[in-house]
Amino acid sequence: MEVTVRLAGFAALLLAGNAILTYPLAARPGSPLARTQTAQAHATYTDTIPGTPVTFEMVALPGGTFEMGSPPDEVGRAADEGPRHSVTVGPLWVGKYEVTWDEYDRFAFGAAVPAPQAPSAGAGLVTRPTPPYGDESFGFGKGRQPVINITHHAAMEYTRWLSQATGHAYRLPTEAEWEYFARAGSAEAYPFGRDVSRLDAVAWYAANAKGRPHPVGSRAANAFGLFDTLGNVTEWCLDRYDPDFYARSPAKAPVLLPTDRRYPDVTRGGSWADEAVRLRSAARRPSTEAWSRRDPQRPQSIWWHTDATIVGFRIVRAIEQDPALRDVRSTVTRDSENR
């Protein structure tokens, strides 16, 4: 005889001989049980690149509403940081650190791309980087150093590769998500307030970096437990750069998807080469052709910049993926125009 009973979040199958098997129930979306299961699943975790000893940490953050952009009186404010507007982002996981060479090298120079582990982990064939023009680390070293000189296309392809390898839907953060987790609850110019003298403790920038990037996590974390959101390397966001986007930005989960043009896309956070004003939470920086100025190839590489040692990225994973971002991928090709 078989009898099925329902427990808290589980179904139990009673079999002859008093054996009991339990298995999770599929909760109705939006039900208290579904919310409980989601809350239990939304915890900080460590993931591994399959077939390697390389791991990376993902920090669980709640969703929230915040004021995006800067007020007119903020010191150093640029016109593209306004108008300041209220934005809501959903709960997500965020890379605790910027992506390192230890991680990126598995994609760029490692074994064959793994077969997809989940249907939602990125549609289509993932391409691999072409050989770089010269030393891709520019003498700064690899290992736990943040990856640098990576194009927007390359960062997006890395997240698709990682998604297929792990079965988790990783991607670049939207610009709104980035500012949300960089602010870490602060409405001031910096996560710690307005006192620039405190920047030295949390960021590598022009005043203390001695002309180079540094291993990730070697300055203090912000209030969300994330390292190097300010300084070290300026971080790619998913969004296309538009200086006027804030004037028409939706209030919930805004994003301006990238196009098939190489430039301009958004980076955030400032870098080891920047003055403090560039590290403000609201500061925006578009990519530019100058980042590949010394690339002699025609067409120039869609994988590697030659003059962007300030540029890197970190990854995120949403709890509930926006349909517009599901399986998002770069549409840039060798034949893409610059603008």
The residue ranges of every structural domain in the chain are 1-41, 44-318
Q: Look at strands 311-312 and 234-240 and give their pairing.
A: parallel
Q: What are phi and psi of 20, to 5 degrees?
A: -125, 125
pLDDT at residue 112 in the model = 59
pLDDT at residue 128 in the model = 87
- Return the percentage of the chain with pLDDT > 90, whole number: 79
Q: How much is the mean pLDDT over the chain?
A: 87
pLDDT at residue 123 in the model = 55
Residue-wise over 185-215: b if at least 16 C-beta within 10 A, else e?
ebebbbbbeeebeebeebbbbbeebeeebbe
- Please compute the mean of the pLDDT values over residues 66-84 and round it to a whole number: 97
Per-residue pLDDT band for 162 (boundaries 50, 70, 90) equals very high
- What's the CA gap between 163 and 116, in Å, rounded? 8
Q: For residues 194 and 103, is the Cβ–Cβ distance under 8 A?
A: no
Amino acid present at 68? M
DSSP per-residue codes, 88-113: EE--EEEESSPPBHHHHHHHHTSSPP
The token pair that represents 143 in the structure block: 């290992």
| Helix 152-166 vs helix 101-108: crossing angle, to nearest 10 | 90
- Which run of H or of E encompasses 164? helix 152-166
> Up-side HSE of residue 249: CA atoms within 13 Å toward CB?
32
Domain 44-318 = CATH 3.90.1580.10 = yes
If DSSP codes are grouped into helix, strand and coil, which group holds residue 155?
A: helix
Pick from 17-31, 98-112, 260-274, 325-339: least confident: 17-31
Enumerate the β-bridge partners of residue 20.
14
| pLDDT at position 24 over 50 | no
Q: What is the pLDDT of residues 92-138, one digit of tens each?
A: 999 999 999 999 999 999 865 555 455 444 556 788 899 887 899 99
Q: Which residues contact 90 (CB under 8 A, 6 or more apart)?
A: 63, 253, 318, 319, 320, 322
- Please compute the mean of the pLDDT values over residues 138-166 and round it to a whole number: 97
| pLDDT at position 16 over 50 | no
Question: 200-203 long-range CB contacts below 8 Å, 24 or more apart?
Answer: 202/230, 202/231, 203/228, 203/230, 203/231, 203/232, 203/270, 203/279
- Please compute the mean of the pLDDT values over residues 152-161 and round it to a whole number: 97
Of 91, 41, 40, which Cα lies nearest the Cα of 62? 91
Burial class (CB in 10 A: 0-12, 13-18, 19+), 173: buried
pLDDT at residue 210 in the model = 98
If DSSP codes are grouped into helix, strand and coil, which group holds residue 209?
A: coil
> Which residue stretches of 208-280 are H helix?
none
Per-residue pLDDT band for 148 (boundaries 50, 70, 90) equals very high
pLDDT at residue 338 in the model = 96
The token pair that represents 335 in the structure block: 């034949």
- Which run of H or of E encompasses 64? strand 64-68
Q: What is the pLDDT of residues 235-289, one digit of tens each?
A: 999 999 999 999 999 999 999 999 999 999 999 999 999 999 999 999 999 999 9
Peptide bond into 131 cis (omega under 30): no
Of 94, 59, 45, 98, which Cα lies nearest the Cα of 217? 98
Q: For residues 25 and 11, is the Cβ–Cβ distance under 8 A?
A: yes
- What's the CA gap between 167 and 88, in Å, rounded? 27
Q: For residues 103 and 308, is the Cβ–Cβ distance under 8 A?
A: no
Q: Report the alpha-carbon angle 259-256-174, nearest 5.
A: 110
Q: For residues 172 and 162, is the Cβ–Cβ distance under 8 A?
A: no
| pLDDT at position 234 over 50 | yes
More confident: 120 or 199: 199
